[in-house]
Chain A
Amino acid sequence: MLAVWLPNWPIERLTSKQPELRGQPLLLENTASRGQRVVACSPEAREFGVQPGMPVAEATAISTLQAVRLTHDAEADRRALEKLADWCHRFSPTVGIEDTDTLLLDATNLAPLYGGEGPLVEQISQGLTRLGLTAHVALADNIAAAWALAHYPGSGTTRLAPVGESIAAVVSLPLAALRLDDITIETLGRLGIESVEEVLALPRSELASRFGPELLTRIHQLLGDQAEVIRAVAHSERLTTQWLLEPPLTKWTHINKILQQLLRRLAHLLAARDAGALQLTCHLECQASDDVSFDVRLFRPTADAAHLMEIVALRSERLLLTSPVTAVKVHVAKYAPLARQQRVLFERESHWQHSTGVAALVDRLAGRLGAEAVVQCRVQHEAQAEFAYTEQSLVGNLTARKKSTAKPPTAKLAPLDRPLHFFAKPQRVETLSFLHEGPPIRFTHGGQQYVVAHHRGPERIETGWWRRRGIRRDYYRVETTTGRRFWLFRCLRRQKWYLHGAYE
């Protein structure tokens, strides 16, 4: 279990939202029944002697202090803390809020994904520092111990209690580390009990009757006898993982290893939600030059780490990096519920779109060649030859596999009506024809002169005047004296001949 304590959350929330307030003495006040009190103050104000809990009148009496006074907005603090908890979802799938300034993260099984508990704590700490927040991060066996260690960090901003040693780390802390209320602490204090160790030494059977059930609960929670559950904050839609690099890395093999690790974590997060990724964005922040990012799209939702690693590697090996990388972030741009794999009795007869072999092939091809290079075509009813079909990428979207509901084009083409070899951009050819609007007789293409022996046509193709770039063309299927076949047209507007296809 991980606890993150943000000691100055109200102030830091404001300074991150309004950077101009940073560095200034800042007072947050609220109106309680006993008059206005300082709820929080910035470190600069503290230097002048201001303390949280102090009456505002006392604080303003300090003549040397030119403080900015703002009203404390607890609601806004809470909302922002929830957003921060959601941000922490890039580290752990379960994040909860305790009090007004502490976050709890479930760290079970997370350590291997970060290469150890130490790096895990480091990464979280660095991430929060980069956001401009002061945070104390602690990792321990249970929530009670983690909370205690976070609030009483000793030296340094992070504390790690190795497995089994949580209690030992906590025993020397004062009673407030147990999250007890003030009355209980005062009562115990009058009895001479000041530290956790002393409380643990008391006979347990009488504690409930003398101090109320809460003390006993807290002790049991600390010892691990009573389970404590994180009340998790709901996930927002973002699925992101990141790795901050201190110092920046230059070697591609190392960056690749980090990418692989990030993908393993993402797969873990996706599997927890029973979802698969359809589109990933990988973002590399560079020190000196522009950030590099690339997209990876998949044929089917997948949460398989090995598959994701293979496809990302195909794309990432073509990247050119010009400066050291300071952070690597991977974000799931699109995801969908994982398809339930149905066992098909006669696999040979099943549609190939359900087969994993083709899915892997499509992903690999799209990974190296780009999503727009792997498409499925569909014929559409359209006079102009260039637009008689549409293409749709097979990766990155679920609609690619819907059965075509469009009506088939009403005019069924004979096989030789259209050429198999098509020039998307018609090629200008020098043509000779006898009649003004007649068929071609000779034409030159590719440095060769061809003499037309037979022709079929003209097939008049016109698009309506409402099209901005309408066409008026007479198409001819010509056969030359040597038996070669081509598809030519005369543009009626410009009176020029073009070659639009060859039968080969």
Chain B
Amino acid sequence: MIATAPSPTKLPQLRGMLERLEAPRYDHQRTVLSTGVTAVDRLLPQRGLQSGMLVEWVADGPGSGASLLPVAALKNLQHTGGAIVVIDREGHFYPPAASAWGIDLQHTIVIRPTTEADELWAIDQALRSPDVAAVLAWPERIDSFTFRRLQLAAEASGAIGLLVRPKRAQQEPSWAAARLLVSPLPSSANVTEWEESNPPDCWKLNVSVLRSRRGRPGQSVELEVDEQTGNIHEAIQHPTTDRLPARAGRLATQLAHRASHEQTA
């Protein structure tokens, strides 16, 4: 039988079937917690972090702020009675910074495996434990078989897995409930080479959905991280940015030129 493309009317039906097959059982019975940012909650299936869920945060290059959002989310998750487990193979986790984000280090266990195999084993073990509230890790590569095992482990115990991935992981298959891409945005339209301007009062990040169990991929939201308080909220479109449209056009091409210059392979 020759396969033909399904008719447009059937697509929602097929999508629904896929969701039901992929979704864990007893979806509606599990508690859903906020990531701390309503805009990010909207991007996730179940509109928040449901217990037993794995979420991937893909870093769009170095210095992109991808770890920031899961760390901020841990602040909400740490007081549910379970432990927070951080699996730091490369030794990049910096406790003073985590503490500044509101993580209670007394409730946190930091694991430092040395090999990738040990790292994935540790993530699996931590996700399996019923007394663990959330697991934060930076796995570089996860093969499909292991990923499925991690998803099942989280589902069984109710632990939430927050996995920060490198950019090239976009090509890899995923068993997470959602895969979000975090990209940095330049703070202002002023991008001449060297200008003694005041530093901005917030850091702009763009979060877009690459893959999600529910909801459409392609959804994105722009966030602002306040410099003083660390408060993260959705960027409000300022009407003042439309003040100089001509200059904006020229600057936009300059931006694009520079961005492609710095684009990681």
Binding site for B on A (CB under 8 A): 348-350, 352, 355, 357-358, 360-362, 364-365, 368-369, 372-379, 385, 388-389, 391, 394, 403-404, 412-424, 434, 441, 445-446, 448-451, 453-456, 479-486, 501-504
Contacts and interface: CB of A to CB of B under 8 A. Distances in A.
Interface in B126-174: 126, 129-132
B65 A376 contact: no
Contacts of A414: 100, 227-230
Contact of B121 (A357, A368, A421, A503): A368
7 contacts: A352-B83, A360-B129, A364-B125, A389-B94, A413-B100, A420-B97, A485-B63
A504 B67 contact: yes
Contacts of A483: 183-187, 203-205
A484 B83 contact: no
Interface stretch (B1-9, B11-19, B45-53, B110-118): B110-118
Residue with the highest number of chain A CB atoms closer than 10 Å, among B63, B106, B203, B258? B63
Nearest to A434: B194
Contact of B203 (A368, A413, A416, A502): A416
B113 A373 contact: yes
Interface in B19-74: 59, 61-68, 71-72
Contact of B92 (A369, A375, A421): A421
Contacts, number: 200
A349 B79 CA distance: 9
Given A365-B122, A421-B67, A454 B197 contact: yes
Contacts of A456: 199, 227
Interface residues of B, number: 72
A504 B185 CA distance: 13
Residue with the highest number of chain A CB atoms closer than 10 Å, among B94, B112, B126, B259? B94
A385 to B, nearest CB: 8
Contacts of B225: 415-416
A361 B132 contact: yes
Nearest to A500: B94
A418 B204 CA distance: 17
Contacts of A421: 67, 92, 94
A418 B97 contact: yes
Contacts of B184: 482-485
Contacts of B193: 451
A445 B62 contact: yes
Contacts of A503: 63, 65, 68, 203
B110 A376 contact: yes
B122 A352 contact: no
A422 B93 contact: yes
A479 B62 contact: no
Residue with the highest number of chain A CB atoms closer than 10 Å, among B62, B82, B197, B227? B62
B91 interface: yes
A454 B195 CA distance: 8
Interface in B234-265: 255, 258-259, 261-262, 264
Nearest 10 Cβ contacts at the A-B interface: A415-B230, A484-B63, A483-B184, A422-B94, A357-B131, A377-B95, A418-B97, A413-B100, A454-B199, A389-B95
Contacts of B101: 415, 420
B200 interface: yes
A375 B112 contact: yes
B76 interface: no
B234 to A, nearest CB: 17
A501 B109 contact: no
B100 A481 contact: no
B98 interface: yes
Nearest to B97: A418
